[in-house]
Structure 1
Amino acid sequence: MNDSLYQRIEQNPRFKELVAKRDRFAWTLSAIMLALYVAFILLIAFEPQVLGTRISADSPMTLGIPLGVGLILSAFVLTGIYVKRANGEFDRMNQEILDEVQK
């Protein structure tokens, strides 16, 4: 690609819309993940006995283990959500912009 093509892409209003949508979505998912981590850390700091509670009376596993695993799995889920939207809506918008500026 040449410089004039890059300039047409950067000046395209749909490109600016794509960048804004993608950034807003990424920041939203990041905020969700941050909130989950902060909530987990605050639970550890202020209510550690909750995490130390056994799942059942005869189980050696405490509530902290599934909550920790759930926290890790939530990162995978949020990543999957981003990838699904990026490979769908964002890629489609990107291709439409490229088609438009290459005319």
Structure 2
Amino acid sequence: MAEAARSGSSTDKGHKSSLQVLDSPDFKALVKKRWSVSMVLLALLFVGYYGFILLLATNKAFVTQKVGEVTTLAIPLGVAVIIFAWLLTAYYVGWANKSYDPEVERLKSQLKR
């Protein structure tokens, strides 16, 4: 049975081995798709966060402008960065639930066949 798994053939029960799934084009495409989405979202998060940090470091006069009596512009901008991160997370969860998870379930069902 161990040799069957290593050779990529079906096991005694007719299940596909995990090596067959790992080598399948469907699995590789799914992994590539997940990494692509993750990297785009990570890049957006870095741009937002480090853009805010650079703005604080390079344009102190702008971010210290008063928005209210005691609040500076930096506070709402910082809150916006946090909300932006939440929105990116919500997008990823929605994408995973609609696109990624069904594909994972399909591949898992192939393992059981």
Give the TM-score, by structure 2 length.
0.80
User: Which amino acid in the other structure matches residue 50 of structure 1?
Assistant: F
What residue number does 1:72 align with? Answer: 82
- State how far apart, in whole Å, the 2-side matches of 1:93 and 1:77 are: 23
| More off after superposition, 70-79 vs 16-25 | 70-79
What residue number does 2:96 align with? Answer: 86
Q: How many residues align?
A: 100
Q: Which of 59, 63, 77 is 1:51 aligned to? A: 63
User: Which amino acid in the other structure matches residue 76 of structure 2?
Assistant: P
- State how far apart, in whole Å, the 2-side matches of 1:13 and 1:21 are: 12
Contact kept, 8 Å, 2:18 with 2:111, in 1: the verdict is: no
Q: Which runs of 5+ in 2 are unaligned?
A: 6-16
How far the C-alpha of 1:41 sits from its partner, in A, is 1.3
Report Cα offsets for 1:11-50 as digits up to 9, x if no partner: 1111100000000100110000001111111111111111
Pairing of 1:1-103 with structure 2 (within 5 A): 4=5, 5-56=17-68, 59-103=69-113
Answer with 1 or 2: which has the greater Rg. Answer: 2
- TM-align CA RMSD: 1.7
Percent identity over paired residues: 31
SS across alignment from 1:91: helix
- State how far apart, in whole Å, the 2-side matches of 1:52 and 1:101 are: 58
